[in-house]
Amino acid sequence: MQVGILTIGNELISGRTQDTNTSHIARELNIQGWQVPILMSVDDDEAAIKTALDHILAQTDAVIVTGGLGPTTDDKTTEAIARAYGLKLYRDETILSKIKAIFDRYGLYWAPSNSKQADFPEGAEPIANPVGTAWGFSLNVKGKLIAVLPGVPAEMKRMLSQGALPTLRRTFPEAAQAVASRTIKLSGISEAEVDQRLADADLEGQGVSVGFYPHFPELRLVLTVRKPTEEEARSLLKIAEAQVVERLERHIFAYDLETLEGTVAALLSERKLTLSVAESCTGGLITDRLTDISGSSIFLERGAVTYSNLAKTELLGVPEETLRVHGAVSEPTARLMAEGVRKLGHTDLGLSTTGIAGPTGGSREKPVGTVYIALADGRETVCRKYLFRWERRRVKVATSQAALTLLKRYLISIPGQT
């Protein structure tokens, strides 16, 4: 089944307000297994509303409309819909008295214009508003369903799940499907490369829809499956996920709502390992990300943002000679920073970053984007060199991602302590 969404309001087309209703409704409709071919927003204007409804219903079985149900003159949705389909308005006295009761209870001033919130097009089925005075309604027009809800997100959300969705399922019983979906988060690989590596699996051919969502520095891959039953949907999704993991495992760092910092935090806690971080080019971004995780104080002992050479020498014990001979951005410096911060913090692990974030400071042998990341565990120290493109902020973000990924791979490679 196809369902469109129409949001109405001047605050939307002016860009004054970020429309969050549309994505919420679209998500809820997709979960039902219904297709959402079109989303539209227009002004509180009768002609615009009619044109929009005609265009959407020409492509869909139903439309969910939000906004323009208030008591003021610029709220025209109900009249516009009635006129668009040549229907008279009727006033529901029971609902009117319920709305009046709310005004009395809270001692609100009753403006005559409030009465129009109890007006509905002939044949409409009112949808109760459990949290406000703007009732919605559903209306059958030539075999298509129009469900109208207020624009206030808190009211819309409850009336969608309690009123509009049940009405849609009742009106189109044959169209209720089960949906299963999985988000796979990747980094260190391009969209094109993922696309190519998955080509032979032909997931679409198996009835699995695959979406790519770049979310710098991540790439999110979303697998969605629709089947008549939960079981069928879940089992096909499982098979598809296994095929993706088989081809991209090394680049996967989290699933669904998990984050890279969350995964690293969980691994550190689980393995009872403590960490200190020495950051030069990332300037504190790595510890900032790790401390976004509640409970990070269990494993994060301290961080040192050693932006100056003096700080690298004094705090981390990097010899002046190393800095002079190899430079602050070099493998020897990165290694000594990781080992130095590990000692400084008396921790199991030491992680370090040093690089040229740009836009200045680059040279022919060390261009902007040159980064060294090192990890020391007391037995050995690994160091990796990276060359990132992009501007300063993105170099910092990509470096923090690479550092946390290096740490995560290390943590997975060692046996958990018990």
Residue from 63, 145, 152, 373 in contact with a copy of itself (CB under 8 A): 152
User: Position of tokens 């200045």?
Assistant: 360
Under 8 Å between Cβ of 63 and 73: no
One character per residue 159-198, x = contact with a copy of itself (rule: CB under 8 A): ------------------------x------xxxx-xx--
For residue 223, give the nearest of 232, 207, 215 by alpha carbon.
Answer: 207
The neighbouring-strand residues paired with 386 are: 371
User: Position of tokens 């390992």?
Assistant: 273
User: Position of tokens 């819309």?
Assistant: 156
- The least distance separating a copy of itself from the CB of residue 250, rounded to whole angstroms, comes to 14
- The least distance separating a copy of itself from the CB of residue 121, rounded to whole angstroms, comes to 22
- Quote the CA–CA distance of 343 and 272 in Å, as a whole number: 18
For the chain, report the end-to-end CA distance as a whole number of angstroms. 52
Say how many residues touch a copy of itself, by CB under 8 A.
Answer: 110
- The least distance separating a copy of itself from the CB of residue 141, rounded to whole angstroms, comes to 20
Nearer to a copy of itself, 140 or 183 (CB): 183
Should residue 25 be labelled a site residue for a copy of itself when binding is judged by CB under 8 A?
Answer: yes
- Quote the CA–CA distance of 99 and 178 in Å, as a whole number: 38
- Quote the CA–CA distance of 87 and 256 in Å, as a whole number: 46
Helix/strand/coil for 60: coil
- The least distance separating a copy of itself from the CB of residue 78, rounded to whole angstroms, comes to 16
Q: State the angle between helix axes of 191-198 and 230-248 in degrees (0 to 180), rounded to the nearest 10.
A: 110
Nearer to a copy of itself, 171 or 309 (CB): 309
Q: Which of residues 105-124 bind a copy of itself (CB under 8 A)?
A: 105-109, 111, 113-114
For residue 126, give the nearest of 93, 92, 100, 99 by alpha carbon.
Answer: 92
Residue from 166, 207, 319, 359 in contact with a copy of itself (CB under 8 A): 359
Strands 208-215 and 119-121: unpaired
- The least distance separating a copy of itself from the CB of residue 74, rounded to whole angstroms, comes to 7
For residue 133, give the nearest of 109, 114, 159 by alpha carbon.
Answer: 114
Backbone region of residue 23 per phi and psi (left: phi > 0; alpha: psi in -120 to 50; beta: other values): alpha
In terms of Cβ atoms closer than 10 Å to its own Cβ (0-12, 13-18, 19+), residue 115 is middle
Nearer to a copy of itself, 35 or 140 (CB): 35
Residue from 1, 32, 40, 267 in contact with a copy of itself (CB under 8 A): 40
Nearer to a copy of itself, 116 or 335 (CB): 116
Residue from 87, 252, 305, 382 in contact with a copy of itself (CB under 8 A): 305
Should residue 414 be labelled a site residue for a copy of itself when binding is judged by CB under 8 A?
Answer: no
Q: With CB under 8 A as the contact rule, which of the stretches 85-93, 168-176, 235-243, 303-311 interacts with a copy of itself?
A: 303-311
Residue from 85, 90, 212, 410 in contact with a copy of itself (CB under 8 A): 212
Peptide bond between residue 217 and the one before it cis (omega within 30 degrees of 0): yes
- The least distance separating a copy of itself from the CB of residue 372, rounded to whole angstroms, comes to 16
Nearer to a copy of itself, 93 or 109 (CB): 109
Should residue 357 be labelled a site residue for a copy of itself when binding is judged by CB under 8 A?
Answer: yes
Q: Which amino acid is at 237?
A: L
Q: Which of residues 306-335 bind a copy of itself (CB under 8 A)?
A: 306-308, 310-311, 315
One character per residue 226-265, x = contact with a copy of itself (rule: CB under 8 A): ----------------------------------------
Q: Which of residues 86-105 bind a copy of itself (CB under 8 A)?
A: 102, 105
Should residue 39 be labelled a site residue for a copy of itself when binding is judged by CB under 8 A?
Answer: yes
- Quote the CA–CA distance of 418 and 415 in Å, as a whole number: 9
Q: With CB under 8 A as the contact rule, which of the stretches 61-69, 79-87, 284-292, 371-379 interacts with a copy of itself?
A: 284-292
Cβ atoms within 10 Å, residue 74: 11
